[in-house]
Amino acid sequence: LERSRHELRGLSASVESAREQERRRIARELHDELGQRLLALKLGIGALMPPARRPGADDQRAQVGDMLRMVDDTLASVRRIAADLRPTMLDDLGLNAAIEWLARETTQRTGIVVGTRLVPVTPPLPPHTATALYRVVQEALTNVARHAGARTAQVSTSRGTAGLQLTVDDDGVGVRTPRREGSFGLVGMRERVGLLGGRFSLRRRPEGGTRLQVTLPPSALQPDAPEAA
């Protein structure tokens, strides 16, 4: 049973790594290929804008303006989808920058005020560790927006001899009933943390709301840390 469990964890790590690579590839193609084509289309449509003095130009200018706004909306959607798949700043600027962007994006999209209090991460975390923590925060904030009825949330990190601790607090309704059938968000978060040899907890806060906490050991923070525990 122990050997089987170890093999299943190795398989899970391999599948998750392949998924992240595919997300990265699709996000790059959306951002670079489709984004550039939409920009070129916008420039082409803009060149069709008739001079204001031409007879009947008002209607044509209004139509061209509508098309330009549609292209802008589509371009914004493409960028948002690409960022949801894999934010480029996670690879380029690191975990803290990606979490801060996610907090701002969640606030704008949901109206929930998401604050951050993040300690500097030096040296940078291994890519698979940073990805796992980012996905945990992403899933946690999604759950807060969908189920917690919260007005505010806070993402914070701390670091000590015990390793790195990540906490997501909200002032919502607190932990409710057990997991719904077919809902695997919490299972996925626990599995990500378990693969790094960390601890995961979810509990009601005494002052109200929910606290999600992840603690990763020092071994998961080293540049040469293995991808599976």
Report pLDDT digits (tens) over 145-178: 988 889 999 999 999 888 999 999 999 887 664 4
Q: Does residue 8 surpass a pLDDT of 80?
A: no
169 by DSSP, 3-state: which? strand
pLDDT of 224: 62
Give me the helices (H) in 48-147, please.
Answer: 57-85, 88-92, 95-110, 127-143
Question: Model's pTM, two decimal places?
Answer: 0.70
Structure confidence by residue, pLDDT tens digits, 110-126: 999 999 999 998 888 88
Spatial CA neighbour of 105 closest among 82, 125, 124, 122: 82
Give me the helices (H) in 112-216, please.
Answer: 127-143, 185-195
Q: Does residue 24 surpass a pLDDT of 80?
A: no
Q: Does residue 12 surpass a pLDDT of 80?
A: no
pLDDT of 225: 56
160 by DSSP, 3-state: which? strand
Structure confidence by residue, pLDDT tens digits, 61-77: 888 888 899 998 888 88
Q: Does residue 186 surpass a pLDDT of 60?
A: yes
Quick check: 202 and 212 in contact, CB under 8 A? Answer: yes
Q: Report the percentage of the chain scoring pLDDT > 90.
A: 28
